[in-house]
Amino acid sequence: MSVRIRELRDKTGMTQKAFAEMYRIPVSTLRKWEQGEASPPPYVIDLIARTIPGTNSSLRIIKGREGDIYYYDRSKRQVSDVTGNWIFVREDLEGVKEPNLGIYLHDLYEDFYEIQERFNDDCRLDKTEDIIWS
């Protein structure tokens, strides 16, 4: 049984489906790995481990409101949500009060997804309309 892959998934708090989507692993493959029917290549485990706090010393877990979980990579000055959307931050987050930081990150990602959806809507519209913006 590939306990290691299950331990990594457990550290994220993600379901098999969410974990598989994040790392682009077929859910059926992940299930086989976790049940010991097959084994992931060692390099896959290493690559995944580098992205998970507790297995990568430069990553810090930040708990947000409503149970949100975020990761802060001190070395890259980036934050990530559990789906793997990384955002560069200019401000050093060390010293920011943990409860407040969770709120700030929740708001940041709420805005990020709203802007991302607006961008996708604009691109879809552009494909169907004959509009040139100036």
Sign of CA dihedral 22, 66, 110, 112: negative
pLDDT at residue 113, as a whole number = 96
111 vs 1: CA distance, rounded Å? 41
131 vs 109: CA distance, rounded Å? 30
Phi, psi of 72 (to 5 degrees): -115, 120
pLDDT at residue 1, as a whole number = 40
Match 């691109």 to its residue by tokens.
123
**Beta partners for 53?**
56
- The secondary structure element, H or E, covering residue 120 is helix 98-128
Q: Which domains does the chain have, with CATH numbers?
A: 1-56 (1.10.260.40), 58-129 (no CATH)
pTM score, whole prediction: 0.61
55-101 tens-digit pLDDT: 666 778 888 878 888 888 888 899 988 877 889 999 999 899 988 99
53-64 tens-digit pLDDT: 666 667 788 888
- Average pLDDT, stretch 96-115? 94
